[in-house]
């Protein structure tokens, strides 16, 4: 971190015998926080995660699942609201996730109540969540107070087409309710 709002992060992990779940990765990010007012700032960021040796075969089964991504994002924090936009660029690195544009909004309605929602107008991945929302309620004022959260996600899975050309896709609405004790 620098005094003028720059933040740099880099890291990596290596595996001598990588597989589908445990594989080498290199990651890094750069962000700049720009102060706009006493209670407002703009954060511009870019980052990458590179998975050079993620295995695509498990026994005789070939499984192509992405592990790399390059992103650019902007976030405006203004008082009780935070608005963000993140773009993931597909096909820049080998074994990349597909193109995705995600917008999100969070509003701190009260000290212990937060509402959030997201929308992905562009998502070319075969498994995607185009929109969703959540509410988080902290049941007390201390850092370790229990929290109750309710979440909703629209999930879409695209399995391609059958031999007759019919679309093989599934769409679900997933609802979760979570009670958590301890640090958020």
Render pLDDT for 93-113 as a digit per residue (tens, 0 to 9).
988 889 999 999 999 999 999
pLDDT at residue 184 above 70?
A: no
Question: At 72, is the pLDDT very low, low, confident or very high (cuts 50, 70, 90)?
Answer: very high
Q: How big is the CA angle at 110 (ends 108 and 112), to the nearest 5 degrees? A: 90
Question: At 62, is the pLDDT very low, low, confident or very high (cuts 50, 70, 90)?
Answer: low
> So what's the pLDDT on residue 120?
97
As a whole number of angstroms, the distance between CA 75 and CA 53 comes to 32
* Average pLDDT across the chain, whole number: 92
Could you tell me the two tokens for 85? 């936009």
Nearest to 77 by CA among 110, 35, 118, 45: 35
Question: At 20, is the pLDDT very low, low, confident or very high (cuts 50, 70, 90)?
Answer: confident
> So what's the pLDDT on residue 34?
96
Burial 40-72, CB ≥16 within 10 A → b, else e = ebebebebbbbbbebbeeeeeeeeeebbbbbbe
Instruction: Summarize the confidence of residues 51-62 as an average pLDDT.
Output: 73
> So what's the pLDDT on residue 58?
67
Domain ranges of the chain: 33-46+53-180
> So what's the pLDDT on residue 57?
65
């Amino acid at each position: 971190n620098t005094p003028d709002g720059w933040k740099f992060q880099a890291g990596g992990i290596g595996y001598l015998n990588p597989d589908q779940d445990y594989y080498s990765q290199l990651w890094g990010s750069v962000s700049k926080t720009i102060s706009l007012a006493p209670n407002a700032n703009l954060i511009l960021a870019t980052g990458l995660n590179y998975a050079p040796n993620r295995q695509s075969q498990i026994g005789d089964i070939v499984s192509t699942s992405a592990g790399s991504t390059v992103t650019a994002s902007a976030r405006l924090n203004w008082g009780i609201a935070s608005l963000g936009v993140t773009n993931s660029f597909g096909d820049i690195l080998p074994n990349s996730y597909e193109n995705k544009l995600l917008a999100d909004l969070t509003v701190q309605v009260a000290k212990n109540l937060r509402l959030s929602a997201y929308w992905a107008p562009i998502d070319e991945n075969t498994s995607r969540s185009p929109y969703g929302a959540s509410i988080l309620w902290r049941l007390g004022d201390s850092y370790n107070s229990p929290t109750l959260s309710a979440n909703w996600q629209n999930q879409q899975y695209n399995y391609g087409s059958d031999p007759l050309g019919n679309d093989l896709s599934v769409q679900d609405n997933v609802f979760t309710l979570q009670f958590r004790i301890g640090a958020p």
